[in-house]
Structure 1
């Protein structure tokens, strides 16, 4: 199991499988909603991100941020856990990827910024 998933799982009180899928859905949403190259830099530089994306499968977000929220709630997460997953993902990414790059990636999807 990756350090990212361990960290998210412990902080949000989730099983590792649910934590992996939640992180994957957030990353898939970020990827689908932004064309900024900072997103791919963040994903490729964050250990465990690729595995989390794979766990999310073919996530579709036709409904924007509401679709992401629905997916995460469908995994059993409440709003507090969703915020915790996002915050832990961003903090972990910033510890492995240039902080400015991660901030740029998040800022490239304005709908996501209030949740992380």
Structure 2
């Protein structure tokens, strides 16, 4: 997971701490909004993904994610990210997941969450 965070921080031009929080938020969003079986497969294939989502849930205070895609965008904006940076984060997270879990799984997840494709 550290290699993903370092890659995103460099590509988006943000501090690694911000990248780590954003990746955790994205993974928490996927766990909350995505198809359960596919997300379990994603977390099994991507070392550290479940832990990153858990950390984001703990920081969130409620232990869960709410608000759908717009809620995620609001939280990422709260970290100081603009739309371009959000798209960079989305592309990098899903490229990383593709490397670890394959195109088919990513396609199933993206297809199941309305509006997600626009951030990739």
What is the TM-score when the length of structure 1 is the normalising length?
A: 0.88
Task: Name the structure where helix makes up a greater proportion of residues.
Answer: 2
Q: 1:17 and 1:54, CA in 2 relative to 1: closer, same or farther beyond 3 A?
A: farther
How far apart are the structure 1 equivalents of 2:106 and 2:14? 24
TM-superposed CA distance for 1:47, in Å, is 3.0
Judge conservation of contact 1:2–1:47 (CA < 8 Å) in 2: no
> Which of structure 1's runs of 4+ aligned residues deviate more than 2 A?
57-60
Q: Which residue of 1 aligns with 2:60?
A: none
The unaligned stretches of length 5 or more in structure 1 are: none
Q: Distance in 1 between matches of 2:91 and 2:108?
A: 15
**TM-align CA RMSD:** 1.6
Distance 1:47 1:7 in 2: 16
Tell me, in whole angstroms, the C-alpha distance in 1 between the residues paired with 2:51 and 2:11.
19
Relative contact order higher in (CA < 8 Å, ≥ 6 apart)? 1
TM-score normalised to structure 2 length: 0.85
